[in-house]
Amino acid sequence: MSQLTLKEGIIIESTGSWAQVLSKDEIISSRLVGKQRLSEEETTHPIAVGDRVTIALREDKTGTIQKIHERKNAIPRLSTHTRKQAQILVANLDMAWVVQAVKDPRPKPGFIDRFLVTCEAYGVPAGIILNKKDLMSPKEVAKVDWLKNLYTSLRYPVILCSAESGEGIEELKSVLKDKISALIGPSGTGKSSLLNRLDPKLERSTSEISSYSGKGRHTTTFAQLVPLQFGGMIADTPGIKEFGLVDIEPWELSLYFPEMVGPREECKFNTCTHEHEPGCGVMKAFEDGKIDPERYNSYLMILESLKEK
Ligand SMILES: Nc1nc2c(ncn2[C@@H]2O[C@H](COP(=O)(O)OP(=O)(O)O)[C@@H](O)[C@H]2O)c(=O)[nH]1
Ligand SMILES: [Mg+2]
Ligand SMILES: [Zn+2]
Protein backbone atom coordinates (compact mmCIF):
# COMPACT_ATOMS: atom_id res chain seq x y z
CA MET A 1 0.00 0.00 0.00
CA SER A 2 1.36 3.38 -0.92
CA GLN A 3 1.64 5.91 1.87
CA LEU A 4 0.11 9.36 1.60
CA THR A 5 2.58 12.21 1.76
CA LEU A 6 0.91 15.25 3.29
CA LYS A 7 2.16 18.77 2.72
CA GLU A 8 1.14 22.18 3.98
CA GLY A 9 0.95 25.05 1.55
CA ILE A 10 -0.73 28.22 0.40
CA ILE A 11 -2.94 28.64 -2.64
CA ILE A 12 -1.23 31.04 -5.01
CA GLU A 13 -3.56 30.59 -7.96
CA SER A 14 -6.95 29.02 -8.39
CA THR A 15 -8.71 28.50 -11.68
CA GLY A 16 -11.60 26.12 -12.08
CA SER A 17 -10.94 22.87 -10.28
CA TRP A 18 -7.14 23.18 -10.27
CA ALA A 19 -5.13 25.25 -7.86
CA GLN A 20 -1.43 25.96 -7.58
CA VAL A 21 -0.16 25.35 -4.09
CA LEU A 22 3.15 26.77 -2.88
CA SER A 23 4.67 24.41 -0.35
CA LYS A 24 8.13 25.49 0.82
CA ASP A 25 9.83 26.12 -2.52
CA GLU A 26 7.71 23.82 -4.62
CA ILE A 27 4.61 24.65 -6.61
CA ILE A 28 2.24 21.71 -6.73
CA SER A 29 -0.76 21.58 -9.03
CA SER A 30 -3.57 20.37 -6.86
CA ARG A 31 -7.18 19.52 -7.19
CA LEU A 32 -10.17 19.70 -4.96
CA VAL A 33 -11.80 16.34 -5.35
CA GLY A 34 -15.50 15.61 -5.00
CA LYS A 35 -16.07 14.91 -1.37
CA GLN A 36 -13.64 17.49 -0.04
CA ARG A 37 -15.61 20.26 -1.67
CA LEU A 38 -17.35 22.50 0.79
CA SER A 39 -20.60 22.33 -1.14
CA GLU A 40 -22.62 24.19 1.45
CA GLU A 41 -20.37 27.24 1.28
CA GLU A 42 -22.05 30.40 0.13
CA THR A 43 -19.16 31.37 -2.04
CA THR A 44 -19.04 30.51 -5.72
CA HIS A 45 -15.71 28.80 -5.27
CA PRO A 46 -14.68 27.05 -2.09
CA ILE A 47 -10.98 27.79 -2.31
CA ALA A 48 -9.38 31.17 -2.65
CA VAL A 49 -5.95 32.55 -3.29
CA GLY A 50 -4.28 32.94 0.09
CA ASP A 51 -5.98 29.89 1.62
CA ARG A 52 -3.77 27.64 3.71
CA VAL A 53 -4.28 24.03 2.78
CA THR A 54 -3.11 20.51 3.50
CA ILE A 55 -2.55 18.47 0.38
CA ALA A 56 -1.79 14.83 -0.25
CA LEU A 57 0.87 14.25 -2.85
CA ARG A 58 -0.02 11.70 -5.52
CA GLU A 59 2.33 9.50 -7.49
CA ASP A 60 2.07 11.74 -10.54
CA LYS A 61 3.34 14.68 -8.38
CA THR A 62 0.02 16.44 -8.37
CA GLY A 63 -1.83 16.98 -5.14
CA THR A 64 -5.30 16.62 -3.80
CA ILE A 65 -6.52 19.20 -1.35
CA GLN A 66 -7.42 17.43 1.86
CA LYS A 67 -8.15 20.33 4.12
CA ILE A 68 -8.68 24.07 3.85
CA HIS A 69 -7.59 25.73 7.08
CA GLU A 70 -9.77 28.31 8.73
CA ARG A 71 -9.35 31.77 7.23
CA LYS A 72 -8.19 34.63 9.41
CA ASN A 73 -9.88 37.05 7.04
CA ALA A 74 -10.91 37.36 3.41
CA ILE A 75 -11.91 39.98 0.91
CA PRO A 76 -15.19 39.08 -0.72
CA ARG A 77 -16.68 40.68 -3.76
CA LEU A 78 -20.03 40.09 -5.35
CA SER A 79 -19.74 37.62 -8.15
CA THR A 80 -20.23 39.39 -11.45
CA HIS A 81 -22.33 36.48 -12.66
CA THR A 82 -24.88 36.04 -9.95
CA ARG A 83 -24.68 39.34 -8.01
CA LYS A 84 -25.89 37.44 -4.98
CA GLN A 85 -23.17 34.96 -4.23
CA ALA A 86 -19.93 36.16 -2.82
CA GLN A 87 -16.66 35.33 -4.41
CA ILE A 88 -13.54 35.46 -2.31
CA LEU A 89 -11.01 37.62 -4.07
CA VAL A 90 -8.18 36.79 -1.70
CA ALA A 91 -7.87 35.39 1.84
CA ASN A 92 -5.54 35.59 4.86
CA LEU A 93 -4.11 39.03 4.25
CA ASP A 94 -1.90 41.07 6.54
CA MET A 95 -2.80 44.15 4.54
CA ALA A 96 -4.95 45.11 1.56
CA TRP A 97 -4.12 48.12 -0.59
CA VAL A 98 -6.56 49.85 -2.85
CA VAL A 99 -4.74 51.17 -5.89
CA GLN A 100 -5.84 54.36 -7.61
CA ALA A 101 -4.04 56.52 -10.14
CA VAL A 102 -3.72 60.25 -9.55
CA LYS A 103 -4.79 60.53 -13.19
CA ASP A 104 -5.68 58.20 -16.10
CA PRO A 105 -7.96 56.92 -14.67
CA ARG A 106 -8.79 59.60 -12.11
CA PRO A 107 -9.19 58.57 -8.47
CA LYS A 108 -12.67 57.64 -7.30
CA PRO A 109 -13.29 58.26 -3.60
CA GLY A 110 -16.51 56.22 -3.81
CA PHE A 111 -14.53 53.16 -4.86
CA ILE A 112 -11.97 53.75 -2.10
CA ASP A 113 -14.71 54.02 0.52
CA ARG A 114 -16.49 50.84 -0.55
CA PHE A 115 -13.18 49.04 -0.42
CA LEU A 116 -12.37 50.41 3.04
CA VAL A 117 -15.81 49.44 4.35
CA THR A 118 -15.28 45.88 3.11
CA CYS A 119 -11.87 45.71 4.77
CA GLU A 120 -13.25 47.07 8.06
CA ALA A 121 -16.14 44.62 7.97
CA TYR A 122 -13.95 41.61 7.24
CA GLY A 123 -11.04 42.43 9.52
CA VAL A 124 -8.43 43.27 6.90
CA PRO A 125 -6.06 46.18 7.65
CA ALA A 126 -6.22 48.54 4.69
CA GLY A 127 -4.26 51.28 3.02
CA ILE A 128 -4.34 53.41 -0.12
CA ILE A 129 -1.83 53.59 -2.93
CA LEU A 130 -1.98 56.57 -5.26
CA ASN A 131 0.07 55.63 -8.31
CA LYS A 132 1.20 57.54 -11.41
CA LYS A 133 2.57 60.44 -9.40
CA ASP A 134 4.69 61.31 -12.46
CA LEU A 135 1.47 62.35 -14.26
CA MET A 136 0.50 64.80 -11.57
CA SER A 137 0.08 68.32 -12.94
CA PRO A 138 -0.97 71.37 -10.91
CA LYS A 139 -4.56 70.40 -11.72
CA GLU A 140 -4.33 67.18 -9.69
CA VAL A 141 -2.34 68.52 -6.75
CA ALA A 142 -5.30 69.80 -4.71
CA LYS A 143 -7.29 66.58 -5.14
CA VAL A 144 -4.34 64.39 -4.25
CA ASP A 145 -3.52 66.49 -1.17
CA TRP A 146 -7.14 66.29 -0.10
CA LEU A 147 -7.21 62.49 -0.49
CA LYS A 148 -3.95 62.10 1.34
CA ASN A 149 -4.99 64.31 4.27
CA LEU A 150 -8.46 62.83 4.54
CA TYR A 151 -7.45 59.18 4.66
CA THR A 152 -4.35 59.78 6.74
CA SER A 153 -6.54 61.53 9.31
CA LEU A 154 -8.70 58.39 9.38
CA ARG A 155 -5.52 56.41 10.10
CA TYR A 156 -5.28 54.66 6.75
CA PRO A 157 -1.74 54.76 5.40
CA VAL A 158 -1.53 56.57 2.05
CA ILE A 159 1.39 56.06 -0.32
CA LEU A 160 1.93 58.35 -3.27
CA CYS A 161 4.18 56.67 -5.81
CA SER A 162 5.00 56.04 -9.43
CA ALA A 163 5.72 52.74 -11.09
CA GLU A 164 7.08 54.81 -13.96
CA SER A 165 9.59 57.06 -12.17
CA GLY A 166 10.19 54.88 -9.12
CA GLU A 167 9.21 57.61 -6.71
CA GLY A 168 7.71 56.27 -3.48
CA ILE A 169 8.66 52.70 -4.33
CA GLU A 170 11.07 52.36 -1.39
CA GLU A 171 8.27 53.41 0.95
CA LEU A 172 6.00 50.85 -0.67
CA LYS A 173 8.64 48.15 -0.26
CA SER A 174 8.98 48.91 3.40
CA VAL A 175 5.26 48.37 4.05
CA LEU A 176 5.06 45.20 1.96
CA LYS A 177 8.18 43.55 3.32
CA ASP A 178 7.55 40.20 5.04
CA LYS A 179 3.78 40.57 4.79
CA ILE A 180 1.06 38.99 2.72
CA SER A 181 -0.61 41.86 0.91
CA ALA A 182 -2.94 42.47 -2.00
CA LEU A 183 -3.24 45.20 -4.58
CA ILE A 184 -6.87 45.82 -5.48
CA GLY A 185 -8.34 48.37 -7.82
CA PRO A 186 -9.78 49.13 -11.24
CA SER A 187 -7.76 48.02 -14.24
CA GLY A 188 -5.34 50.54 -15.64
CA THR A 189 -4.32 51.96 -12.28
CA GLY A 190 -0.91 50.26 -12.49
CA LYS A 191 -1.10 47.28 -10.15
CA SER A 192 0.93 45.00 -12.40
CA SER A 193 3.38 47.78 -13.22
CA LEU A 194 3.96 48.39 -9.51
CA LEU A 195 4.73 44.71 -9.00
CA ASN A 196 7.25 44.82 -11.84
CA ARG A 197 8.87 47.90 -10.34
CA LEU A 198 9.02 46.27 -6.91
CA ASP A 199 10.52 43.09 -8.27
CA PRO A 200 11.46 43.05 -11.96
CA LYS A 201 11.73 39.27 -11.90
CA LEU A 202 7.98 39.03 -11.58
CA GLU A 203 7.45 40.08 -15.21
CA ARG A 204 3.76 40.76 -14.77
CA SER A 205 2.06 41.60 -18.01
CA THR A 206 0.71 45.10 -18.17
CA SER A 207 -1.68 46.75 -20.56
CA GLU A 208 -1.58 49.80 -22.73
CA ILE A 209 -4.23 52.34 -22.03
CA SER A 210 -6.38 52.84 -25.08
CA SER A 211 -6.08 56.55 -25.70
CA TYR A 212 -9.73 57.40 -26.19
CA SER A 213 -11.33 55.54 -23.29
CA GLY A 214 -8.58 56.06 -20.73
CA LYS A 215 -9.29 52.53 -19.57
CA GLY A 216 -6.73 49.77 -19.38
CA ARG A 217 -7.42 46.44 -20.99
CA HIS A 218 -7.86 43.47 -18.73
CA THR A 219 -4.54 41.72 -18.60
CA THR A 220 -4.67 40.16 -15.18
CA THR A 221 -7.63 37.82 -15.32
CA PHE A 222 -7.46 36.12 -11.94
CA ALA A 223 -5.90 36.81 -8.58
CA GLN A 224 -2.41 35.47 -8.17
CA LEU A 225 -0.15 35.52 -5.15
CA VAL A 226 3.52 35.99 -5.91
CA PRO A 227 6.59 35.96 -3.66
CA LEU A 228 8.60 39.18 -3.34
CA GLN A 229 12.37 38.86 -3.47
CA PHE A 230 12.76 41.21 -0.48
CA GLY A 231 10.38 39.12 1.64
CA GLY A 232 6.64 38.64 1.73
CA MET A 233 4.03 37.84 -0.85
CA ILE A 234 1.68 40.00 -2.82
CA ALA A 235 -1.51 39.36 -4.72
CA ASP A 236 -2.07 40.97 -8.07
CA THR A 237 -5.79 40.98 -8.73
CA PRO A 238 -7.87 41.51 -11.86
CA GLY A 239 -9.33 44.97 -12.34
CA ILE A 240 -12.47 45.52 -10.36
CA LYS A 241 -14.95 48.02 -11.72
CA GLU A 242 -17.26 48.15 -8.76
CA PHE A 243 -16.96 46.83 -5.32
CA GLY A 244 -20.19 45.15 -4.31
CA LEU A 245 -20.66 44.88 -0.57
CA VAL A 246 -21.55 41.55 0.92
CA ASP A 247 -23.59 40.78 4.01
CA ILE A 248 -23.72 44.20 5.62
CA GLU A 249 -26.96 45.39 7.17
CA PRO A 250 -27.86 49.08 6.68
CA TRP A 251 -27.79 49.88 10.43
CA GLU A 252 -24.35 48.25 10.67
CA LEU A 253 -22.66 50.28 7.94
CA SER A 254 -21.53 53.18 10.12
CA LEU A 255 -19.48 50.75 12.23
CA TYR A 256 -17.14 50.56 9.27
CA PHE A 257 -16.61 54.31 8.98
CA PRO A 258 -14.05 54.92 11.75
CA GLU A 259 -15.06 58.58 12.11
CA MET A 260 -18.69 57.55 12.79
CA VAL A 261 -18.00 54.94 15.44
CA GLY A 262 -17.83 57.48 18.29
CA PRO A 263 -20.68 59.77 17.13
CA ARG A 264 -23.09 56.85 16.51
CA GLU A 265 -22.94 56.11 20.24
CA GLU A 266 -24.90 59.32 20.73
CA CYS A 267 -27.78 58.37 18.43
CA LYS A 268 -31.18 58.14 20.05
CA PHE A 269 -32.06 54.91 18.25
CA ASN A 270 -29.66 51.99 18.12
CA THR A 271 -30.83 51.08 14.62
CA CYS A 272 -30.25 54.66 13.43
CA THR A 273 -29.04 54.85 9.84
CA HIS A 274 -27.97 58.51 10.27
CA GLU A 275 -30.02 59.68 7.35
CA HIS A 276 -33.00 61.53 8.78
CA GLU A 277 -33.62 60.13 12.25
CA PRO A 278 -34.08 62.60 15.14
CA GLY A 279 -31.38 62.76 17.80
CA CYS A 280 -28.69 61.44 15.46
CA GLY A 281 -25.11 61.77 16.73
CA VAL A 282 -23.58 61.19 13.31
CA MET A 283 -25.60 63.95 11.64
CA LYS A 284 -24.63 66.25 14.49
CA ALA A 285 -20.94 65.41 14.02
CA PHE A 286 -21.35 66.07 10.30
CA GLU A 287 -23.01 69.44 10.95
CA ASP A 288 -20.20 70.31 13.37
CA GLY A 289 -17.70 69.66 10.59
CA LYS A 290 -16.23 66.56 12.21
CA ILE A 291 -17.12 64.27 9.31
CA ASP A 292 -15.95 65.03 5.79
CA PRO A 293 -18.87 65.79 3.42
CA GLU A 294 -17.52 63.41 0.75
CA ARG A 295 -17.29 60.61 3.27
CA TYR A 296 -20.79 61.28 4.53
CA ASN A 297 -21.96 61.30 0.92
CA SER A 298 -20.18 57.97 0.31
CA TYR A 299 -21.88 56.63 3.40
CA LEU A 300 -25.31 57.63 2.04
CA MET A 301 -24.58 56.13 -1.39
CA ILE A 302 -23.47 52.84 0.09
CA LEU A 303 -26.44 52.84 2.45
CA GLU A 304 -28.75 53.24 -0.54
CA SER A 305 -27.16 50.29 -2.33
CA LEU A 306 -27.45 48.11 0.76
CA LYS A 307 -31.14 48.96 1.09
CA GLU A 308 -31.77 47.92 -2.51
CA LYS A 309 -30.80 44.36 -1.68
N1 LIG B 1 2.70 57.40 -16.36
C2 LIG B 1 2.54 56.27 -15.67
N3 LIG B 1 1.95 55.21 -16.26
C4 LIG B 1 1.81 54.08 -15.52
C5 LIG B 1 2.26 53.99 -14.18
N6 LIG B 1 1.95 52.74 -13.73
C7 LIG B 1 1.36 52.10 -14.76
N8 LIG B 1 1.26 52.90 -15.84
C9 LIG B 1 0.65 52.55 -17.15
O10 LIG B 1 -0.73 52.30 -16.95
C11 LIG B 1 -1.18 51.25 -17.80
C12 LIG B 1 -1.85 50.17 -16.98
O13 LIG B 1 -0.90 49.55 -16.14
P14 LIG B 1 -1.10 48.10 -15.54
O15 LIG B 1 0.06 47.84 -14.66
O16 LIG B 1 -1.39 47.10 -16.59
O17 LIG B 1 -2.42 48.33 -14.66
P18 LIG B 1 -3.31 47.26 -13.90
O19 LIG B 1 -4.48 46.98 -14.81
O20 LIG B 1 -3.76 47.95 -12.66
O21 LIG B 1 -2.47 46.06 -13.63
C22 LIG B 1 0.05 50.78 -18.54
O23 LIG B 1 0.06 51.42 -19.80
C24 LIG B 1 1.20 51.26 -17.70
O25 LIG B 1 2.37 51.47 -18.45
C26 LIG B 1 2.89 55.14 -13.59
O27 LIG B 1 3.32 55.18 -12.42
N28 LIG B 1 2.98 56.25 -14.38
MG1 LIG C 1 -2.84 43.98 -14.06
ZN1 LIG D 1 -27.61 58.31 13.83
The pLDDT of residue 130 is above 70: yes
Closest approach atom of ligand 1 to CA 99: 20
Q: CB under 8 Å to 55, separation ≥6 — which residues? A: 6, 7, 8, 9, 21, 23, 28, 30, 63, 64, 65, 66
Residue 87 pLDDT exceeds 80: no
Of the candidates 262, 257, 266, which has an alpha carbon nearest to the alpha carbon of residue 297? 257
Quick one: which H or E segment has residue 8?
strand 5-15
Q: Give CA–CA dist 18/10, Å, rounded.
A: 13
- Cβ atoms of 171 and 197 closer than 8 Å: no
User: Atom 12 in ligand 1: which residue has the minimum CA distance?
Assistant: 188
The answer, yes or no, to whether any atom of ligand 1 lies below 6 A from the CB of 132, is: yes
Q: In a 10 Å sphere around its CB, with 0-12 CB exposed, 13-18 middle and 19+ buried, how is residue 210 labelled?
A: exposed
Of all ligands present, the nearest one to the C-alpha of 282 is 3
Q: Whose CA is nearest to atom 6 of ligand 1?
A: 190
pLDDT of residue 109: 95
Q: Please tell me the residue having the least CA distance from ligand 1 atom 14.
A: 190
How does residue 42 score in pLDDT terms, banded at 50, 70 and 90? very low
Sequence letter at residue 257: F
Looking at residue 278, its amino acid is P
Whether 19 is in the pocket of ligand 1, judged by its Cβ within 6 Å, is no
Taking a C-beta distance cutoff of 8 angstroms, is the pair 102, 132 a contact?
yes
Identify whether the C-beta of residue 275 lies closer than 8 Å to the C-beta of residue 303.
yes
Average of per-residue pLDDT across 263-287: 97
Residue 112: strand, helix, or coil: helix
**Pocket of ligand 1 contains residue 208 by CB under 6 Å:** yes
Q: What is the per-residue pLDDT for 86?
A: 67
Cα-to-centroid distance, 245 and ligand 1 (Å): 27
Identify whether the C-beta of residue 182 lies closer than 8 Å to the C-beta of residue 190: no
Q: Is the beta carbon of 186 within 6 A of some atom in ligand 1? A: no
**Mean predicted confidence (pLDDT) in 137-156:** 96
Comparing 29-33, 48-52, 271-275, the range with the smallest average pLDDT is: 29-33
- Report, as an integer, the average pLDDT of 178-191: 94
Q: Is the peptide bond before 46 cis (omega within 30 degrees of 0)?
A: no
- Across the chain, mean pLDDT equals 88
**Stretch 22-34: mean pLDDT:** 90
Confidence of residue 97 (pLDDT cuts 50, 70, 90): very high
Give residue 258 CA to ligand 3 midpoint distance, Å: 14
Residue 287 CA: distances (Å) to CA of 41, 144, 208, 259, 298:
43, 25, 44, 14, 16
**Would you say residue 11 has pLDDT above 50?**
yes
List residues bridging with 27 in a β-sheet.
22
Q: Residue 3, Cα to own-chain centre: how many angstroms?
A: 40
Longest dimension (CA), the chain: 74
Indicate if ligand 1 lies below 6 Å from the C-beta of 163: yes
pLDDT greater than 50 at residue 21? yes
CA distances from 96 to 39, 173, 175, 184 (A): 28, 14, 11, 7
d(CA 97, CA 119): 10
Model confidence pLDDT, tens digit, residues 207-219:
654 433 444 444 4
| pLDDT, tens only, 101-112 | 999 999 999 999
Closest by CA position to 13, among listed 128, 90, 96: 90
Candidate from 24-28, 37-41, 236-240, 268-272 with smallest mean pLDDT:
37-41
More confident residue, 83 or 169: 169
